[in-house]
Amino acid sequence: MTPYRLPEKKRRLAFPAGILFVCLFSAFLPAGLSAAAEEAMLRVYDRQSGILYAEVPARVNSRLFFGWIHSLEKIPWNEYYHVDENYNLVLDSITFPAFGAGIPEDKGRVCHVRDGLIHMEEIGQIFTELVWLNSHTATRDILLDDRHVTRGSDLPHHARIRLLIEKGEAHGTH
């Protein structure tokens, strides 16, 4: 039995339509696969032991809030970051109520006072991770996209903590 062959004119039309179908189909397939592969998590670890304390899904342009109390001045300090396309944390702005020891006078390109707080904006400082010595009283809330991640009182006191964005599936916290 001879295989059926399309006439030459129809073969020329069928070939581009087949390529179009494959291109359209593959355009959706990699997007789904790449979304799974590109999934990222904000994770909070013990820097020495590697114990995972918190993790939440993150994405490019997620907004991170990190609030703490200045150790010397005892004033609230708020840091606002966004997640860039390389999953770094970019410090956008800081707010605090007064100047004092160790507080920069010129961070960022914009500085103004609003609602009783000094706002320093357009900072653009890039961090691959945040590392701090945790304190139950100094480390306040950590939020991602306005959702609670953790707070200092949830983490071990005087432990070195690291926060970063990593690609990959959830591990589950301890």
pTM, 2 dp = 0.75
Q: What is the mean pLDDT of each run of 10 residues along the chain (174 residues)?
A: 47 43 42 54 97 97 95 87 97 92 84 93 97 94 97 96 90 66
- Give the distance from CA 117 to its chain's centroid: 25
Q: What is the pLDDT of residue 18?
A: 43
Say what the pLDDT of residue 21 is.
Answer: 39
Q: Residue 83 burial (CB < 10 Å; 0-12/13-18/19+)?
A: buried
Per the CB < 8 A criterion, the answer to whether 171 and 55 are in contact is yes
Let me know: does 152 contact 139? Beta carbons within 8 Å: yes
* 149 shares a domain with 63: yes
Overall domain count for the chain: 2
* In a domain? residue 14: yes
What is the greatest pairwise CA distance in the chain? Answer: 91
Where in the sequence is the domain holding 64, given as residue range(s)?
40-167
**Predicted local confidence at residue 75, as pLDDT:** 87
Whether 172 maps to a domain, the answer reads no
Are 47 and 113 part of one and the same domain?
A: yes
| 173 inside domain | no
What pLDDT does residue 71 have? 75
* Domain identity same for 4 and 29: yes
Are 83 and 99 members of one domain? Answer: yes
